[in-house]
Structure 1
Amino acid sequence: MSGISRRGAARLGLGVGIGAAAATLAGCGSGEEQGRPPAGPGHHPDRPAAAPAPAKKAPPRLIGDGSTSYTGRQPNQPAAPVALEVGQTPPQFVIFSWDGAGEVGNGLFPRFLELAREHDAHMTFFLSGLYLLPESKKRLYRPPNNPVGASDIGYLTDGHVKETLKYVHQAWLEGHEIGTHFNGHFCGGPGSVGNWSAAHWRSEIEQARSFVKSWRSNTGWHDHPSLPFDYDQELIGGRTPCLLGQDNLLPVARELGWRYDASSPGGLQRWPDKKQGVWDLPLQGIPFPGHRFEVLSMDYNILANQSKNSTRAPSSNYPGWRTQATQSYLAGFRRAYETNRAPFFIGNHFEEWNGGIYMDAVEESLKQIADHKDVRLVSFRQFVDWLDAQDPAVLAKLRGLEVGERPPGGWSAYLRPEKRPKAGAGGAAK
């Protein structure tokens, strides 16, 4: 891929896009005011009452070598999902997700955590397991169909591994989901993930989980805070490198109890269904201003159609491209929001390609989307929780709407149970 170094632009994973000429490989609440207690022994009316001692929080229960821990239910979660009422307009779900989810010194991970806090948003971070494995221990990684220790995205520096641990820790406590982007990100040649068998995927997943669950042993940083979650329970879905290999991944995902997969390329803006028993949540084709074709809803795929895979194109193009990327995301949002209310999935990378314009576009899009009524900015995990709480017949009706199709008669008429003929005098319905 021209213009992309092995450790640079490709670092956090690419996808497969829709583009000109063909698909382009690209990879809390405030406390209440307290009144004074009634006068009594030892009470002085002019002195403030002593605050009650805060309840002691149970220490985390360390798991394995202490790399991860059980700290209780994840905080900062939305209310438990409920089924849509008869005739109710569905919410507009928008899911921002991040492939790789490593902090490499550019400040993008904390930037988007702050943005999420400002707009009550939750996101999914697809963590690459290798980003918690120091390069000095690279031979612990045995990638299927590739040499021991190989990786097409390289390894992070020790300092960046520590930064990644810090922000993954913070992200989970703030209510975001930690999924997986697997490990070595092999997209080409005979070792490509597109050629992997189910056994290969099983090995890759076990290694990705191991690198997250054993980073203390692998780094020797035993005084570094443990991650506040049980990864075996947290991990319920992922996105494959370059959106390749889903068919052989899904049987393994189902065996592992995963609830969704976000690896399908070129999906449509329609309500999702399950594939091989797992929710199939694909990146989607969205309008691309100035073109007749659509582009995949991922930063790199917009780049691939603007600068032909170059991540350092002439800067004179940046203002126009930034606007075009922003308008593309917003056009995809509006098409769903104003018609079938299909969930809108956006994929990103913590990269500064073409001067960081795609990060600016994602930020501006999120700000504008968040201002709309009925919008829910959620993680994939939170979205499948909602899906699983719905009446299957209602979901089937939602899936009956095509891209850009409004519900006939409006939502109040469309999402109502079909009227069945009443029984006649003889007792039998005609």
Structure 2
Amino acid sequence: MRAITRRGALGLGAGAAAAAGLAGCGGLTDSDGPGAPGGSGRSGKKGSGSPKPSARPLGDGSTSFTGKQPHQPAKPEPLEPGQEPPQFVVFSWDGAGEVGNGLFPRFLDLAKEHGASMTFFLSGLYLLPESKKRLYDPPNNPRGASDIGYLTDEHVRMTLTNVRRAWLEGHEIGTHFNGHFCGGSGSVGNWTPRQWRSEIDQAKGFVKEWRTNTGWTDLPALPFDYEKELVGGRTPCLLGQDNLLPTARALGWRYDASSPGGRQTWPQKKQGLWDLPLQQIPFPGRSFEVLSMDYNMLANQSINSTNAPSHNYPGWRQQSAQAYISGFKRAYETNRAPFFVGNHFEQWNGGIYMDAVEESFKHIAREKEKGADVRLVSFRQFVDWMDVQKPEVLAKLRTLEVGQQPAGGWKEFLKDIAGSPSPTGTAA
């Protein structure tokens, strides 16, 4: 595997590419930052219009309780003896800010067209105006510091609009925390559980108090209670998970997507939370595997350059798309392990990685539309399914290695399943 650690945001010293380290992560800046993907919705029709639910304001009115989230799948059921498991696919986005390049709505439209859900790991600072940056007190760093850029007021407004739309169309709003510190003594890799609690409280506060911090009264509230909505996240550069988990568990989170690289096998819990890592997947034309994230495609193709010679772009775009498709195909045709993809709203190397994500997403969606039991879901929806499965079923699924087909087929492999489902998944 060639997974790369990324330091900070684009344009802020994107950090040396270590030949074999953690997965790249990161934020965006107004110049090269977020844009568009994300979305869901079950109508199967394009469009950005969102319903206007009745709302009960919370706090200063930045958020509101509007009832059950729209466009959610049916209540999950445990697998029956001999039943083939679905192929789950989760597309997720780190940062989830919109800076006017249309990437956030682009992928919301794509998801809505195909009845899919995604997870958006919102960076709390993307809802905090730069003029108020001293409200942020990051652990082990100066007040107001951030290794990702603050958004302009206009782009904060765009981000609010798209986050609101995303939730109303069935997507999950998780967290990517705040300042994205990946190096030096202030790195999130050095934070204590107590410091993680401070970071999380602040990330939630910037979401729940954007109206106070901006003074804006002309935008509608976010239509969810973030205290209840937030059940998982992904740390900057996939660092610091061990000390994050005790805090996340105390807060009632259900999963964490911060493991520094995983394999295409069925997940298990770590310190009481589902551990849902990005995964090593085939990298066409190369002898090693690559982590299932856009930044790791970039780092292995252009030596950490975000503006390589354009004659390389068509080949790199196709290689990246085929890597995602190969990862999906390997899981779907063998052990049916869930497939996790991580991205940023970025335009590296001419935007080829956004095109690759869209191409692979459409390929997977076509399989679903042809009748395959493929489910394009959020992390939250995936753990809803995991939590109702019988512990012995999950244990049996975890015996399957990467690319290993069930002996005798699924009917034979899962034929002797007994017992009752675990209501909370704790037994798994």
Q: Choose the corresponding residue for 1:254, options 232, 249, 252.
A: 249
Match of 2:316 in 1: 321
- Summarize the Cα distance change of 1:183–1:417 in structure 2 as closer, same or farther, 3 Å threshold: same
* Aligned equivalents of 1:221, 1:313: Cα separation in 2: 41
* Paired residues of 1:9 and 1:353 also in contact (CA < 8 A): no
1:20-39 map, 5 Å:
21-23=19-21, 26-27=24-25
Aligned-residue Cα RMSD (Å) equals 2.2
Match of 1:377 in 2: 376
Secondary structure class of the residue paired with 1:164: helix
- Summarize the Cα distance change of 1:234–1:323 in structure 2 as closer, same or farther, 3 Å threshold: same
**Pairing 1:95–2:94 present:** no
Matched to 1:353, the amino acid is W
* Paired residues of 2:124 and 2:204 also in contact (CA < 8 A): yes
**Pairing 1:356–2:351 present:** yes
Q: CA deviation at 1:154?
A: 1.5
Q: Choose the corresponding residue for 2:289, options 277, 294, 317.
A: 294
Match of 1:156 in 2: 151
**Pairing 1:193–2:188 present:** yes
Secondary structure class of the residue paired with 1:371: helix
* Aligned equivalents of 1:325, 1:239: Cα separation in 2: 22
Give per-residue Cα distances to partners, 1:238-294, cap 9 Å, x unaligned.
000000000000000000000000000110100000000000000000011111111
* Aligned equivalents of 1:145, 1:134: Cα separation in 2: 22
Matched to 2:21, the amino acid is A
Q: CA deviation at 1:223?
A: 2.7
Give per-residue Cα distances to partners, 1:173-231, cap 9 Å, x unaligned.
00000000000000001100001110110000000000000000000002311000000
Match of 2:408 in 1: 409
Moved more, 126-135 or 370-379: 370-379
Match of 2:239 in 1: 244
* Aligned equivalents of 1:379, 1:26: Cα separation in 2: 21
* Aligned equivalents of 2:256, 2:22: Cα separation in 1: 21
Secondary structure class of the residue paired with 1:200: helix
* Paired residues of 1:24 and 1:304 also in contact (CA < 8 A): no
- Summarize the Cα distance change of 1:164–1:416 in structure 2 as closer, same or farther, 3 Å threshold: same
Q: CA deviation at 1:85?
A: 1.1
| TM-score, L = length of structure 1 | 0.87
- Summarize the Cα distance change of 1:281–1:9 in structure 2 as closer, same or farther, 3 Å threshold: farther
* Paired residues of 2:7 and 2:181 also in contact (CA < 8 A): no
Match of 1:134 in 2: 129
* Paired residues of 1:9 and 1:311 also in contact (CA < 8 A): no
* Paired residues of 1:9 and 1:351 also in contact (CA < 8 A): no
Give per-residue Cα distances to partners, 1:104-156, cap 9 Å, x unaligned.
11100000000001111100000000000000000000000000000000100
The unaligned stretches of length 5 or more in structure 1 are 31-56, 420-430
Q: Choose the corresponding residue for 1:264, options 235, 251, 259.
A: 259
Match of 2:38 in 1: none
* Paired residues of 1:287 and 1:332 also in contact (CA < 8 A): yes
Match of 1:334 in 2: 329
Match of 1:38 in 2: none
* Paired residues of 2:23 and 2:291 also in contact (CA < 8 A): no
Matched to 1:401, the amino acid is L
Larger Rg over CA atoms: 1
Matched to 2:24, the amino acid is A
Identity over aligned residues, as a percent?
72
Paired positions, count:
388
- Summarize the Cα distance change of 1:418–1:70 in structure 2 as closer, same or farther, 3 Å threshold: closer
Q: CA deviation at 1:26?
A: 2.5
* Aligned equivalents of 2:244, 2:8: Cα separation in 1: 25
* Aligned equivalents of 1:377, 1:253: Cα separation in 2: 25
* Aligned equivalents of 1:97, 1:195: Cα separation in 2: 25
* Aligned equivalents of 1:58, 1:288: Cα separation in 2: 45
- Summarize the Cα distance change of 1:58–1:412 in structure 2 as closer, same or farther, 3 Å threshold: closer
* Paired residues of 2:393 and 2:417 also in contact (CA < 8 A): no
* Aligned equivalents of 1:217, 1:172: Cα separation in 2: 22
Match of 1:391 in 2: 390
The unaligned stretches of length 5 or more in structure 2 are 26-41, 45-51, 419-428
- Summarize the Cα distance change of 1:321–1:9 in structure 2 as closer, same or farther, 3 Å threshold: farther
Matched to 2:195, the amino acid is H
* Paired residues of 1:265 and 1:284 also in contact (CA < 8 A): no
1:41-190 map, 5 Å:
59-190=54-185
* Paired residues of 1:108 and 1:350 also in contact (CA < 8 A): yes
Q: CA deviation at 1:335?
A: 0.7
Matched to 1:136, the amino acid is S
* Paired residues of 1:142 and 1:148 also in contact (CA < 8 A): yes
* Aligned equivalents of 2:272, 2:9: Cα separation in 1: 36
